[in-house]
Structure 1
Amino acid sequence: MSHPKRLVNPALAAITLVLAGALPACSGETVDPDLQGVASVIDGDTIEIHGTRIRLNGIDAPESGQRCQNARGTAWRCGQQAALALSDRIGRRQVNCQQTDTDRYGRVVADCFAGGENLNRWMVREGWAVAYRQYSTAYIAAEDDARTGQRGIWQGRFDMPWDWRAERRSGQNVAPTMQRLYEFAGQNWSCGPRRTCSQIGSCDEARWYLQNCPWGGKLDRDNDGIPCESIC
């Protein structure tokens, strides 16, 4: 007895083929749901997705309390601006991260993407972070591009984030590189009498007192290395 032929719906067959191509092969690879979704920006090189803290691989951004100098020598909050730049770039897009390592603090280290764009590379290329050569060489070309274009922190002078952190840990108020920026030859400032921020005429003067006077630390109330923040 012959069986009747079963007709195949061409449209259904096409959909089946598309879905089959979209599904991952049975190779054991899985996508970690904790590494994709809506991201909260912690700072210029750290985000959080579903409660998982993720450090962007191969880059280092200025710390939240760090300041840089623009081309005119004016201090600005480069650490805060780096975080804002990353947040603005992500916008409302979903972020997908591919883990490369786990750091000593237990954070996931990953390359992260939004709309197919590599956020790590974008941060370095726009001058909001530097290539973290100690851990990766992937973003050196992007850093060279930012430096040539004088974008972001490359518009002026700054301390490398790892140097800034090391100096903070050692208890120094101002990094040696920043001390060289503030050599006040010819100024008649002295440590007596003691002054308050309202009696100080410039940020340079405030930094001189911070570095040279026993009472200078009083000008830095939040101990972030920046005196008289109303003028600095």
Structure 2
Amino acid sequence: MLRFCLAFVLFAPSLAIAADLVEGLVNVIDADTWVVGGVRVRLHGIDAPELGQNCEKNDGKAWACGNWVTQEVRRRFHGKPAQCTPLDWDRYGRVIARCRVIGQDAGRDMVRRGVAFAYRKYSTDYVAEEAHAASERAGLHGAHVQMPWVYRASDVTQSSGPCRIKGNISFSGECIYHAQGQEHYSKTRVSAGGKERWFCSETEAKAAGWRKASR
């Protein structure tokens, strides 16, 4: 029997893309990944710092920018009704969609406020909003920030940051997380640039469809 995480990757995209809209209340997993109406959605055209990513303020002080953008997005959108137009799906099984919350394009709003960047690799829809945010030094533009796509592709792990729960993919394709203190935690590795990832809490891992290791 396939576990939820693997089953979601295999089956959810085709169901979501077949629908005209994905509708429901917003559950913010991180700044650019939401669950809307039970469907895991990756917001189109934007990219935001990862939950465990740290940045640096202009005064040289460390800043947990990944946590900040997630909290800002939760404050603005969590629990509100959204209508998302599916455009594609990604290799993680998320539906890529343009989402509107209370009549406004959420991605456009986030880039304009400086809590996300225009993801030029896939879309130029929000380049003008990013230029405006940069000119105002809004949000992320007022600090030294490694672009999230560069951060994910680097060989540097988040093990020294606040997110210490390891999300690992088993040989059978199961999504399993390991918490500190468990038997295989120290031996478990999180591959950079792939589907494996770090989580900041067990609640976050479970919401993403991962199960806890049995020991």
Larger deviation, residues 82-91 vs 56-65: 82-91
Whether 1:31 aligns to 2:20 is yes
Show the counterpart of 1:128. 115
1:171 Cα deviation after fit: 4.3
1:191-230 equivalence runs, <5 A: none
1:173 Cα deviation after fit: 7.4
**What is the TM-score with the length of structure 1 in the denominator?**
0.58
Contact 1:73–1:156, Cα closer than 8 Å, also in 2: no
Given the alignment, which residue of 104, 112, 126 partners 2:91? 104
Contact 1:59–1:124, Cα closer than 8 Å, also in 2: yes
Does the residue aligned with 2:144 lie in a helix, a strand or coil? coil
1:160-199 equivalence runs, <5 A: 160-167=147-154, 170-171=155-156
How many equivalent pairs are there? 143
Whether 1:156 aligns to 2:143 is yes
C-alpha spacing 1:143/1:87, structure 2 compared with 1 (3 Å): same
CA RMSD of aligned residues (A): 2.0
C-alpha spacing 1:91/1:165, structure 2 compared with 1 (3 Å): closer
Whether 1:53 aligns to 2:40 is yes
Show the counterpart of 1:81. 68
Does the residue aligned with 1:124 lie in a helix, a strand or coil? helix
1:93 Cα deviation after fit: 2.4
Does the residue aligned with 1:85 lie in a helix, a strand or coil? helix
Stretches of structure 1 that go unaligned for 5 or more consecutive residues are 1-28, 175-223, 225-232
Given the alignment, which residue of 73, 76, 80 partners 1:93? 80
1:115 Cα deviation after fit: 0.7
Summarize deviations over 1:143-195 as a string: whole Å, max 9, x none.
1011111111111111000110111xx24679xxxxxxxxxxxxxxxxxxxxx
Contact 2:27–2:78, Cα closer than 8 Å, also in 1: no
Whether 1:115 aligns to 2:128 is no
**What is the TM-score with the length of structure 2 in the denominator?**
0.62
Contact 1:47–1:54, Cα closer than 8 Å, also in 2: yes
Stretches of structure 2 that go unaligned for 5 or more consecutive residues are 1-17, 160-197, 199-215
Larger RCO: Structure 1 or Structure 2 (Cα < 8 Å, ≥ 6 residues apart)?
A: 2
Summarize deviations over 1:79-110 as a string: whole Å, max 9, x none.
11111111111154211101111112221001
Summarize deviations over 1:192-219 as a string: whole Å, max 9, x none.
xxxxxxxxxxxxxxxxxxxxxxxxxxxx
The percentage of counterpart residues that share the same residue type is 41
Which one-letter code corresponds to 1:130 in the other structure?
F
Contact 2:52–2:158, Cα closer than 8 Å, also in 1: no
Summarize deviations over 1:106-158 as a string: whole Å, max 9, x none.
21001111111111011111111111000000000111011111111111111
1:3-42 equivalence runs, <5 A: 31-32=20-21, 35-42=22-29
Whether 1:63 aligns to 2:71 is no
Which one-letter code corresponds to 1:31 in the other structure?
D
